[in-house]
Structure 1
Amino acid sequence: MAVYRDKSNGYDGKTWRVAVYYTDWQGNKKKHEKRGFKTKKSAQSYETEFIAKKKKDINMGFSAFVELYLTDIKPQIKLTTYVTKENIINTHILPYFENKSLSDITSVDILQWQNELLMLRDDNGKGYSQTYLRTVQNQLNAIFNHAVRYYDLPKNPCAATKKIGKSKAKEMLFWTKEEYWKFAEVVKDKPASYYAFQILYWTGIRCGELLALTISDFDLQKKTLHIDKNYQVVKGEEMITTPKTEKSNRIIDLPEFLCNEMEDYFSSLYKVDENSRIFTFTKSFLHHEMDRGSAKAGVKRIRLHDLRHSSCALLIELGYSPIQIAERLGHESVTITERYSHLYPSVQKQMADKLNKAFEENDDG
């Protein structure tokens, strides 16, 4: 191990260089070098952290451990999930804990961090949503759980504190069928928007699934739609990825009227082959169209994702079970669908009537 002035290969000796020997996870001895440090102190600090990481020393700096954590999990999760985690860590976690060592962070530190998050306000005096606060909390918890599970940290300091935020939104918005009809009528002046919203509402697919659709995904003879991909923009780069979950890979049966509409839409497209995206606009464009259509139709403004909730509400109204709806919407488990339980009509009156009828039948006998 060494830290020295770098005078080799054209370097003028004004910067510092680190050379460290270590043993990798397969037992092979290797050499690691890094150059370009402006001061000896910064080079030594890097050397100390590097050695701590290789030895899985829990006294390493929190920032150094976060690098290890992200390196460990990156191959196991989708790129979009990784980018989301990275953004949350860099924005809300590292700025508070970066100068502490992993093992020195206590439950009191966690409590003070939580209080700072709760007090943050934007220019309009509005704080973070309860669901976002819970997402940030869960990310910090995941970092410490990783340290406990793989790096022998004795305990997770988050365990002693109460979680902030809420795991799900307080209110689930959706449009009734009548509200959706009003909205659909006023966006017909832009055919691509209209057809996109028709698919979202009547099939319940996710926005990313919609934007990835090609003509080849439709079988208008069999009246089916095949969902097997997702469109996303990651760090400014457009990409087609796999769907959100395994259950998201599915075939959806389409109503005949929607097949007829899609046939009309396909015939209007210019020079689009079977594998080209049929909706080439962005999610931002659809948000704008939601604003425009809601205002023009005089219906409440709901989120783009709430169209999926609206589709679920419609299926509930039509009498389908959570299992049947989960299959169509591509929910990973029926538990997700059951979150919509408050939309189901109460059957208490129906139960009471049938119990009364059963009693009367017995009484008559």
Structure 2
Amino acid sequence: MTFASFYEAYQNDLKNRLRKNTWVTKSSIIEKKILPYFGDKRVRDVRPIDILHWQNTIMKTKDENGMPYSPVYFKTIHNQLSAMFNHAVRFYGLPDNPVAKAGNMGKEKCGEVLVWTKEECLQFIAVLKDKLMSFYAFETLYWCGLRLGEMLALTPADFDFERKIIHVTKSFQIIKGEDIITSPKTEKGIRCVLMPDFYADEMATYIETLHLAENDRIFPFTKSYLYHEIRRGCSASGVKRIRIHDIHHSHISLLIDTGFNAVAIAERVGHESINITYRYAYVFASTQQEVDAKLDELIVKNADRIEK
């Protein structure tokens, strides 16, 4: 069986078992980064040295802007090829996975991730008041910790203002030009998020002014609109430029500063495992520095008390 033929079988086996946007991402990587190299080769003839040569080729490629891909993206591509060979081993009698023998390409996570402090976020959001839809979109991302797709899927029916809770049950995606509502990223993504009092009062008033039906989207725009707005807001406010997803990280940083423990944070932001929450620790260098400073201060005070 050629690799191209195996891909057809792979689609038939898995496509209907995965979320639509997950399969679109997976198939795009396979068709653009894997099939051009392995498509005509027989699956059983692919050796670890072939994988190594493929890795070298992939690591030389650049994106549509001529920029090199990130190590995290290389790791994502590598994982897709490995997953295909694992499937062949498990279900089609392939003796072993040559990708596992060749070793990894890229790495699981990137280096330092930028986050906003609460003061930077307030400074940024303040300049967006000329466009209330943008203002409340970024308030929702920062104060409630929703992911971008979860925020874009919100409807009036998702808000319980008596209990001050947002019911997060879905995510909005545009897949091949079609608006798609899917389940959240993980099972734990289906959750209830407690709203800060001031935010709940503001959103209740804002939603009332929109005169929407219960299941109409509150933020009926696309991700590209928000990419433009974050550039505009950063330029106007003078705060450092971060990615939209980094606002999610900024919310986690806010929760740590407020004193939440890892279990509570994982439940609030919808992490599938608490280990994911612990992995975010590297993001918050400033928080760790503050902890060190407070510990140093405590040690000095205790030393003074012992001397007395």
Shorter-chain TM-score category? Answer: over 0.9
Equivalents in 1 of 2:153, 2:62: separation in Å? 36
Correspondence 1:286-301 to 2 at 5 A: 286-301=226-241
Structure 2, unaligned runs of 5 or more: none
Separation in 1, partners of 2:93, 2:292: 53
**Residue 288 of structure 2 aligns to which amino acid in structure 1?**
P
Name the aligned partner's letter for residue 205 of structure 1: L
What is the one-letter code of the residue matched to 1:235?
K
Residue 345 of structure 1 aligns to a residue in which SS? helix
Q: Choose which of 213, 216, 220 in structure 2 pairs with 1:276.
A: 216
Cα drift, residue 162 of structure 1:
2.3
Q: What's 2:150 paired with?
A: 209
2:53 to 79, 90, 112: 112
Change (3 A) 1:102 1:307: same
1:96 & 1:308 partners in 2: Cα distance? 37
Which structure has the highest strand share of the two? 1
**Does 2:281 match 1:338?**
no
Number of aligned residue pairs: give it. Answer: 303
Q: 1:95 aligns with which of 22, 36, 40?
A: 36
Larger radius of gyration, structure 1 or 2?
A: 1
Q: Which amino acid aligns with 1:165?
A: G
> How do residues 61-100 of structure 1 correspond to structure 2 at under 5 angstroms?
61-100=2-41
> Secondary structure of the equivalent of 2:106?
coil
The one-letter amino acid of 1:208's match is: G
Q: Does 1:311 align with 2:251?
A: yes
Q: CA RMSD in A?
A: 1.9
1:152 equivalent in alignment to 2:75: no
| Cα distance, 1:267 vs structure 2 | 2.2
- Show the 5 A alignment for 1:1-365: 60-122=1-63, 125-270=66-211, 272-342=212-282, 343=284, 344-345=287-288, 347-348=291-292, 353=298, 357=302
Identity of matched residues, %? 48
Equivalent AA in structure 1 for residue 218 of structure 2: I
In terms of fraction of residues, the more helix-rich structure is 2
Q: Which has the higher contact order (CA 8 A, sep 6+)?
A: 2
Task: Provide the C-alpha distance between the structure 2 equivalents of 1:325 and 1:138, rounded to a whole number of angstroms.
Answer: 28
Change beyond 3 A, Cα 1:165–1:321 = same
Q: Distance in 1 between matches of 2:175 and 2:268?
A: 27
Q: How many Å separate the matches in 1 of 2:57 and 2:66?
A: 15
Distance 2:53 2:238 in 1: 45
SS at match of 2:59: helix
Compute the displacement of 1:358 (Å).
Answer: 8.8
Q: 1:359 and 1:150, CA in 2 relative to 1: closer, same or farther beyond 3 A?
A: farther
Aligned mates of 1:359, 1:289 — CA distance in 2:
52
* Structure 1 runs not aligned, ≥5 long: 1-59
| 1:298 partner letter | G
Q: What is the distance in 2 between the residues matched to 1:129 and 1:334?
A: 26
Find the residue that maps to 1:221 and give its secondary structure: coil
> Which amino acid is 2:109 matched to?
K
**CA distance in 2: counterparts of 1:139 and 1:121, whole angstroms:** 18
1:185 aligned partner, one-letter code: A
